[in-house]
Each structure stands twice: as structure tokens, then as C-alpha cells.
Homo-oligomer: A and B are copies of this chain.
Amino acid sequence: MKEPFFFAVAAVTIDGFIARFPGHKSDWTSKEDKAHLHKMEKAADVLLLGRASFEVAKKKLSKKNCLVLSRKVNGIRKKTKNLTFLNPKSVDVKKFVKDCGYKKICVLGGRAAYNYCLKKNLLDEIFVTIEPIVFGKGIPMFDSAVKTKTFTLVLAKKLNAKGTLLLHYKKK
């Protein structure tokens, strides 16, 4: 069976932050980025995200297949037909995804979910939208040092007049 394909989607500032503080909603991203995000979600078989990110977007995601990473659950906990909570400390997410037959996994963040995938070397592609603003301080996309991982730029696309930029990278 073909390996599942993981792609991360993130919006960042010029200075590389995905949020100002934990729980900061993405009220600073452009409508063009939101449209891109929806397209990415639609293209996936399942969305992978952390518990805090899920709580924020719960309603919007209620009809999607979601895997929510949470350290508060014991192993695997199926909540509804399309919502499962997983403890990344005890569950091999990749294996679980394969067992479910999911082929395209969209990693929505936050930082802990991005990190899990980075450390497990799961990220086949990364889509980064750079909004043309600066926070000065905030939460970076990752925070676990890895051996330098190399990607190739597939596409850089300007999404609007102010210069929101969509960058698409794939693992080298």
C-alpha cells in the first residue's frame, strides 16, 4: 500500500510567527489565505490537528474527518463517526492513518501538531502563507530542533494586492 501523504498548511507573519500567543485566533490572515486553507482541507481525506486548534475551529470542522492529538486521552478515542482523539505519546499516528485507509492528511497545526509531524519526519509538503505583517514576537511554527531538513520550492504565488504570498515546498 502506498504511504500516506502528509502536508502541513500554515499562515505566518514576515517574522515567521503562526500566532502572537497560545490561543490567538487567526483573525489576522487574509480572506485569500482562508480560501486557500479551505481548498487544502477539501483536498484531504482527514485533518490532523492539536486539541487547542480543534477547540477553536470545532463548529467549522464538524463535518470533516478529524484526528485530534491530545495528551489527555488514553490511546485512541473515537468520539463520533468522523472525529477521533489520539494520544501521540502512545499511538503511532502514521500507522493509525494507514489502518484507517487515509491517503491525504492535512496538518493544520498548532505548533505541537506541526512539531509531532516534523520530528516523525512525516511532512512531505509544506504550504506556508506569508501575510505581509510583523508581530515582533510570537509562536514560531516549530520548536523542536531537528537535523536541518531540506525542501524544494514548488511554487510561490502572490494571493492579493498587498502581497500575501503562498509558498509551496516539498521534501527533497
Contact = CB atoms under 8 A, between A and B. Distances in A.
Interface string A49-93: 000000000000000000000000000000000000000000000
A151 B132 contact: yes
Given A16-B140, A144-B137, A162 B156 contact: no
Interface in A1-58: 12, 14-17, 20, 28
A120 interface: no
Contacts of A144: 136-137
A142 B13 CA distance: 11
Question: How many copies of this protein are present in the complex?
Answer: 2
A156 B165 contact: yes
A65 B145 CA distance: 36
Contacts of A134: 118, 126, 142, 146, 148-149, 151
B16 A12 contact: yes
Interface of A: 12, 14-17, 20, 28, 115, 118-119, 126, 128, 130, 132-138, 140-146, 148-154, 156, 158, 162-165, 167, 169, 172
